[in-house]
Structure 1
Amino acid sequence: MELRVTVAIGAAVIVQSGLGLVWAGAASERLAQLERRADDNREIIERTARLEEQARFISAALVRIEDKLDAKGEGE
């Protein structure tokens, strides 16, 4: 009887250890996926910031062009 209990406890510990390793591996993979997503989001944010800056420069250039055209039209 005592041997069965010892074997059962040993088997339970081994199974629990195995399941713990599987869980840790799955958690590690989920964390790696989240890190990859965060890197992708960082790139998108940087691209968006560059596009916004380019749009500001283009808008300023258009204002200057319009001002020049208006000034030229008034001079005629």
Structure 2
Amino acid sequence: MPRGPKGEKRPADVIGSAIMIARIATGEIEEGTEPETKAAAALGKRGGKARAASLTPEQRSEIARVAAEARWKKGGS
């Protein structure tokens, strides 16, 4: 989904964009992030901490190794 100048989500199609602009102009919705997005982000952060706490050091190391390999593979020639 395209992002606006401040990182807010924007509809990809012209009609969806026009409808969103009209809703913002009439005050039906406020421009910016929706409350559901903030709540989901908060839950995601809490879940990540809980998962990290439940993993053994060996498991965390393996996950980090796989991630590093993927980054190097992606950025390499």
TM-score band w.r.t. shorter chain: 0.3 to 0.5
Larger Rg: 1
What TM-score do you get using the length of structure 1 for normalisation? 0.36
- Using CA pairs below 8 Å that are at least 6 residues apart, which structure has the higher relative contact order? 2
What TM-score do you get using the length of structure 2 for normalisation? 0.36
